[in-house]
Amino acid sequence: MAVGHSLGGLALLRAVERLAPARAVYSDPAWHLRRGPDGYVPELFVRGKSLSRDLVKGFNPRWSDEDLDTEMESVRVWDERSAYGLVDVTGTDMWPLRPAVPSLVTLADPSLLISADDAKMLEGRGFALRTVAGAGHTIHRDDFDGFMSALDGWF
């Protein structure tokens, strides 16, 4: 099994055929990054490196201090060049036409990346979808038990 969250879901989508896992889980994937007339703007992601701990806590009130520490350290060591590397792949529609392997999409509630219409489209293309009620974008941190429950019976 392979799991990709957010931009990791985009990376997994692009690698899943080569990796050939038995199953794939895309957690609130960033498959559609075009925003506004200028399209995808990497600087929006890069600005996240400068967010204060208090601001990150405000966006994620359910996170423990350990979760905040992990997030702050992850963002600190993240190589922002990866955001610029997506410029070439986000100029086109990144929605997958079909799952390369049996695939589950777990969604935040609400997802800021996958609208209700997008979810219906993905289901029509053969993806299983499950929403974790009340969870934000980082589902596995907001509600780990809910995230794990979303995987129940799917394997």
pLDDT per position as a tens digit, 29-65: 988 765 555 556 677 778 888 899 999 999 888 899 9
Q: Which domain holds residue 47?
A: 2-151
Q: What is the pTM of this model?
A: 0.85
Name the domain count of the chain.
1
**Quick one: pLDDT at residue 86?**
67
The domain spanning residue 126 has which CATH number?
3.40.50.1820
Handedness of CA 106, 109, 113, 114 (dihedral sign): positive
**Residue 46, pLDDT score:** 82
The string of pLDDT tens digits covering residues 4-32 is: 998 889 889 989 999 999 999 999 998 87
How confident is the model at residue 18, as a pLDDT? 96
pLDDT computed for residue 16 by the predictor: 96
Mean pLDDT of 86-103: 77
Residue 67 DSSP one-character state: H
Distance (Å, whole) CA 23 – CA 75: 28
